[in-house]
Amino acid sequence: MQASIEAVANKPTAADTALRYNGNMAAKKKTSTRKSPAKSKTEITASLIDAVCDRLSRNQRVRRTLPAKGRLHIDRQLPFLCVYRQPPEYEDAGTERLVKGEASYLIAPGAPQFHKSVSHLVKEIAHTLTAEFGAFLIVEIWATPDGGKANDPAVPTVLPSFSIHAEATGIARTVEALEKRLTKVKVLKHGVEVDVVRDGKCYPPDMGPLMTKSEARDIGCSFIGLAMPPVYRKPNSTNEFPLLARSLQHSLSLALRQTYFEFARSQTIHRPPHYHALGRRAVVKAVWDIDRQLAAVSNQFDYLLQLTPVNPNDAWKQFQRERFERVPEFHYRPLPVDPTVLKRELYKIPIERAEDPALQRLFLEKQEELELKLTMLRDRDTPRFLPESLQLFGGVKDDLLGLAKDLLNHAPHVRRGKRGADVSAAAFAKRAEAECDFYRQMCPDFKGKVQVADDVSGLIVSRGKLLINSDLSLPESRVEALLSHEVGTHLLTYYNGRMQPFQQLYSGLAGYEELQEGLAVLSEYLVGGLNRSRMRQLAARVVAVRHLTDGASFVDTFRTLDRDYDFNQRAAYNITMRIYRGGGLTKDAVYLRGLVAILKYVKKGGDLKPLLVGKMAVEHIPIIKELQFRQVLKPAPVFPRYLQQPEAISRLEGLRGSDCSLQDLVLT
């Protein structure tokens, strides 16, 4: 698939260089519409350079457009600059985007007439920032020659080769950090080769150095050159492989950030707490536009509410009258949107304009998830719905099924007579309102509401509102647990997300349900309310999902829960209805799966605070932490009441480093 890049032995002429870089220069010149920088008479002026350095000296962000489609972005005072110079003779497709996600980068014209002013700009930036940090690093990136099969990622004969160019001596640890991280890069699942060349030629072979060695020494500036194999485009062509380019940009950004981190800690007076702290804080306007547009699409429909039957109580009565022999008829709310039209709007969102690799990844995942949810709403109550649900939420694997059955057998249900003094829907709503008042006193922006309704099943949190079925009745022992679950977790993370700059954190990052429900069930344990009945319910949902995907009917699954696992008929109906709604919704398996995941996270010492920032998946935790290090995201402004209680804190600490199982979480 990939191949190593041949080193260039001799310094070429200008004509040779063009041929060496694209192998088919004449064809490119015919097809390229890019205006040659050589025709531009615009210069990088001394006044622009002075203005840039003045802002940097005051630790202000710099974002300037330069001649010939150049760009300078420096987020804040940082001890590094990533440079890419555009070749003057041909279209170097895809290389420019590799540096755009960095907190400090320069895209400059590489034509000879610009060399003096570009060099002056770089020297003045380095001089200004060296005064702040004591040293400065410039990493210049360029593409190695297109070489047909040698750079074709579809030909796995020889691995792609990255070449690191550095001085013969100095910054050895920094170069080693870059080499170490680059060896972890994958190109279409294949590894790469990384060569370190101590030749001192830290610049493209057809361009001059940005400053002389004596100038660099006087300023306190170090250089690293990185020659990249252009596997992100078709050989001898301007046609890019966008997904491969995106993946490579993400990997390269991590490698560069760790390089900057090592340089900062070993060569400067700067002591960043983590390499993520050297990432971008400021984001381009396009990021906010993308976030807003994705949220606008998401806010046009309520996915779970649209899949929740509006007649759960009437359907139960019908099921009873039919002696549990016939599937009850469920009715749903009319769709408030046309899924096809909304999909068109969704895919008009220009996510590729987000320069930040981490944010771009989050946006792409959300775009794909919204498209699938819209497809499921379109296919509601049809045979197509179940396969789509499996794609979104997954099914039940054998290990999870085995765990669920163990829980059901470990905690058998003992039928009792009629319970006394159950809490009604109205009474629970009053308690939930009081809980919301507690959080409103902590933060006025917490605006959770509670509503009792006939057309919902059980409890549902929808867009910052807790909806309670009017027939709800629950034992007093479950009230505190459900308040922690619904208000202290679901409503709290919704409003914490609303108080972040990114709207995705309240609407939910892609695949957030598993971690969100796992955290909510964990909160039930922390307040002492995760009892035997609740654990059996979670396990039964897993068994029911497996029955569904194995082809069992609604009636068959109901009978299994009723007869084999000794659930009362109304409880068995409620579980079965949740699983079979819409045509087969496998979401309810995420409760137990999520509890397993969050328990593993806590036992390894995982901190719950980052999980309260908003609604996210387990795989997003590193990205959320990264964005917090970069000060793009703030700490969660509202903290759950249950994590302020000594008993809950004690239970949480008791889990850390333990070997407890899910059975050990059952308190009563």
Q: How many residues does the chain have?
A: 668
- Say whether pLDDT at 609 is over 60: yes
Residue found under tokens 């479950």: 478
Q: How far apart are CA 203 and CA 127, in angstroms?
A: 19
Task: Please give the pLDDT value at position 237.
Answer: 85
Distances (CA, A) of 110 to 240, 452, 649: 21, 67, 60
Residues 6+ apart with CB under 8 A from 248: 98, 185, 187, 231, 232
What does the pLDDT read at residue 548?
97
**Looking at the domain that runs over 14-280, which CATH code has it been given?**
3.40.630
> pLDDT over 90 for what percent of the chain?
73
The closest alpha carbon to 364, from 374, 354, 373, belongs to 354
pLDDT at 415 over 60: no
| Beta-carbon contacts of residue 61 (< 8 Å; ≥ 6 apart) | 55, 74, 75, 76, 282
The closest of 353, 5, 307 to 149, measured between CA atoms, is 5
**What pLDDT shows up at residue 283?**
79
SS3 for 215?
helix
d(CA 393, CA 402): 19
- How many Cα atoms are found within 13 Å in the side-chain-facing hemisphere of 198? 8
pLDDT tens digit sequence for 53-99:
999 999 999 999 999 899 999 999 999 999 999 999 889 999 999 99
Domains in the chain: boundaries: 14-280, 302-336+379-665
**Residues forming a β-bridge with 86:** 109
Binned at pLDDT 50, 70 and 90, residue 623 comes out as confident
Contacts of 509 (CB under 8 A, 6+ apart): 362, 365, 366, 614, 615, 616, 617, 620
Closest alpha carbon to 145 in 7, 32, 244: 7
Residue 458 backbone class (left: φ over 0; alpha: ψ -120 to 50; beta: rest): left
Assigned token pair, 392: 């979104």
Choose between 627 and 373: higher pLDDT.
373
- Predicted confidence band of residue 630 (pLDDT cuts 50, 70, 90): confident
Question: Are residues 104 and 75 in contact, defined by beta-carbon separation less than 8 angstroms?
Answer: yes
pLDDT at residue 235 is higher than 90: no
User: What pLDDT was estimated at residue 255?
Assistant: 95
pLDDT band for position 236 (50/70/90)? Answer: confident
- Give the DSSP H/E element, type plus range, for residue 489: none
Q: 79 burial class (0-12, 13-18, 19+ CB within 10 angstroms)?
A: buried
Name the E strands within 88-203: 104-109, 136-143, 161-165, 193-197
User: Whole-angstrom Cα distance, residue 298 to residue 507?
Assistant: 7
Place 33 in a pLDDT band, splitting at 50, 70 and 90.
very low
Which DSSP letter does residue 487 get? I
Over the chain, what is the mean pLDDT? Answer: 88
The confidence score (pLDDT) of residue 395 equals 96
